[in-house]
Amino acid sequence: MIDIKLLRNDPDIVRENIKKKFQDDKLPLVDEVISLDKEFRESKTRAEYLRSQRNKISKQIGFFMAQGKKEDAEAAKAEVKAMQDELEELSVKETELSEKIRKIMLVIPNIIDPSVPIGKDDSENVEIEKFGDPFVPEFEIPYHVDIMEKLNGIDLDSARKTSGNGFYYLKGDIARLHSACLNYARDFMIDRGFTYYIPPYMIRSGVVDGVMSFAEMENMMYKIEGEDLYLIGTSEHSMIGKFIDSQLDESELPQTLTSYSPCFRKEVGAHGIEERGVYRIHQFEKQEMIVVCKPEDSKKWYDILWKNTVDYFRSLDIPVRTLECCSGDLADLKVKSCDVEAWSPRQKKYFEVGSCSNLGDAQARRLGIRIKGGNGNYLAHTLNNTCVAPPRMLIAFLENNLNEDGSIRIPEPLRMYMGGKSVIEVPQK
């Protein structure tokens, strides 16, 4: 959510930003907010005037009574009563106007960083840099589910019976590998100075409104029936929500946190849910990074966060690239974002395994996250990034570490979490 002062003083900047995001249908909202805000401020000005007059006239009532001027006193009381009635009406009006303004402001997109490339959708995202050499072996690489089934490591049929499409049972060494990737990610981030958290897996609607747009919420979040609770789609939601209505001293910054959680998503949209596969699913686990910092430090932390993901994947010998998200592919709260994509030797292309985002002060404004500084209080900046999110990450891992006989190489960093194993062998029939 942007600062309403920007709309008052420089509405053309907001309009131009909306155009850059190819959301021209939102252009009328700018004038609507300006009009509502003008009415809101006029109402407040009128209320302030009435209060000052009411206080002034109220003092006269005692004077009139002391002078025996009963009629004057009664007239003054009537005038005060009329003012009080109007003040109550203005209070209701201000509340209604404030709610209307906030509702509209929640859907006006955040101002994007000048470095963001302009484009309509993800097809116009821009490659930044590649890390590692993409490799395609001479033997054919099977589909990731076939690899896991050959290793007796996945059961989709049973999951369809218990839960439907978009769910899975992992088992044996594949389940252990899944946990190993998360455990390694946890320690990887701790070693980089981040504080480890396991957060709540459900959050209230007030936190949901603070961390994401309404459209995202509708397409992603599962609501708990009969309660003001939602299952989190990522631990970023509860971790940023942790700071709601808080005031942090500058000496406490930056807050660098890494969190583990299961994640639950509807996955509503064009991509849908595969019957056979674990790329888009309703339930998965993730190791996340979250930073709360001073505004002048957010660009620095943005680069640190995406580099952490690159370093994690490269430590497991998985080639990756970074892709700058264009304006039309940015969620409305984001100032800047890039995807980390892993190499798929089977498909001979890269696919997304993580996303790094700088939200500027948008989430802090919605949630009331402020910093106490020497020259006054100001809004914090928030950032988040995926370190690793298996089982999607497992697709890249299995394809890049597959041997011709169907076995899987285990890179050195994961072996301590795999009981010392250097390879996952194909079970003997």
Tens digit of each residue's pLDDT (9 = 90 or more) over 265-308: 887 554 555 567 788 888 999 999 999 999 999 999 999 999 99
Give the pTM. Answer: 0.89
Give residue 412's pLDDT.
Answer: 97
Give residue 270's pLDDT.
Answer: 46
56, 78, 105 — which closes off a domain?
105
Inside any domain, residue 115: no
Cα-based distances in Å from 382 to 17, 115, 305, 332, 372: 20, 18, 12, 14, 16
Give residue 380's pLDDT.
Answer: 97
Inside any domain, residue 275: yes
Give residue 275's pLDDT.
Answer: 60
Inside any domain, residue 110: no
Cα-based distances in Å from 239 to 211, 287, 384, 394: 10, 12, 10, 25
58, 78, 105 — which closes off a domain?
105
Inside any domain, residue 342: yes
Kindly tell me if the per-residue pLDDT of 62 is higher than 70: yes
The answer to whether residues 126 and 33 belong to one domain is no
pLDDT digits over 99-129, tens only? 999 999 999 999 999 999 999 999 999 999 9
Interaxial angle between packed helices 27-66 and 11-20, expressed in degrees from 0 to 180 and rounded to the nearest 10: 150
Average pLDDT, the chain: 93
Residues 6+ apart with CB under 8 A from 366: 1, 106, 209, 210, 211
Kindly tell me if the per-residue pLDDT of 25 is higher than 80: yes
Where in the sequence is the domain holding 352, given as residue range(s)? Answer: 122-424
The answer to whether residues 80 and 151 belong to one domain is no
Give residue 273's pLDDT.
Answer: 58
Inside any domain, residue 117: no
pLDDT digits over 145-179, tens only? 999 999 999 999 999 999 988 899 999 999 999 99
Q: How many residues does the chain have?
A: 429
Angle formed at CA 299 by CA 239 and CA 14, multiple of 5 degrees:
90
The answer to whether residues 185 and 329 belong to one domain is yes
Angle formed at CA 12 by CA 3 and CA 36, multiple of 5 degrees:
55
The answer to whether residues 311 and 276 belong to one domain is yes
Inside any domain, residue 116: no
pLDDT digits over 372-393, tens only? 988 899 999 999 999 999 888 9
Closest to 416 in 3D by CA, of 196, 194, 187: 187
Inside any domain, residue 9: yes
The answer to whether residues 197 and 345 belong to one domain is yes
Give residue 274's pLDDT.
Answer: 59
Angle formed at CA 84 by CA 78 and CA 86, multiple of 5 degrees:
105
Inside any domain, residue 277: yes
Residues 6+ apart with CB under 8 A from 93: 43
Tokens representing 343? Answer: 């190499």
Q: What is the mean pLDDT of residues 396-425?
A: 96
Closest to 394 in 3D by CA, of 424, 356, 419: 424
First to last CA, the chain: 59
The answer to whether residues 90 and 239 belong to one domain is no
Closest to 262 in 3D by CA, of 102, 95, 389: 389
The answer to whether residues 185 and 280 belong to one domain is yes
DSSP-derived pairing of the beta strands 283-293 and 255-264? antiparallel
The answer to whether residues 60 and 151 belong to one domain is no
* Contact criterion met (CB below 8 Å) for 396 and 350: no
Cis link prior to 254 (omega < 30° from 0)? yes
128-137, 205-214, 266-275, 324-333: range with lowest mean pLDDT: 266-275
pLDDT digits over 248-264, tens only? 999 999 999 999 999 99
Closest to 338 in 3D by CA, of 352, 319, 318, 348: 352
d(C-alpha 301, C-alpha 319), whole Å: 23
Q: What is the mean pLDDT of residues 66-92?
A: 90
Which of the 8 DSSP states describes residue 225?
T
Closest to 389 in 3D by CA, of 303, 268, 263: 263
d(C-alpha 313, C-alpha 324), whole Å: 18
The answer to whether residues 131 and 61 belong to one domain is no
SS3 label, residue 317: coil
* Rg of the chain over all Cα atoms, to the nearest angstrom: 28
The answer to whether residues 235 and 379 belong to one domain is yes
Q: What is the mean pLDDT of residues 195-221?
A: 87
Percent of the chain's residues with pLDDT above 90: 83
The answer to whether residues 394 and 351 belong to one domain is yes
Provide the domain count of the chain.
2
**What residues form DSSP beta bridges with 292?**
255, 382
Look up the CATH number of the domain holding residue 79: 1.10.287.40
Look up the CATH number of the domain holding residue 347: 3.30.930.10
105, 130, 149 — which closes off a domain?
105
The answer to whether residues 76 and 169 belong to one domain is no
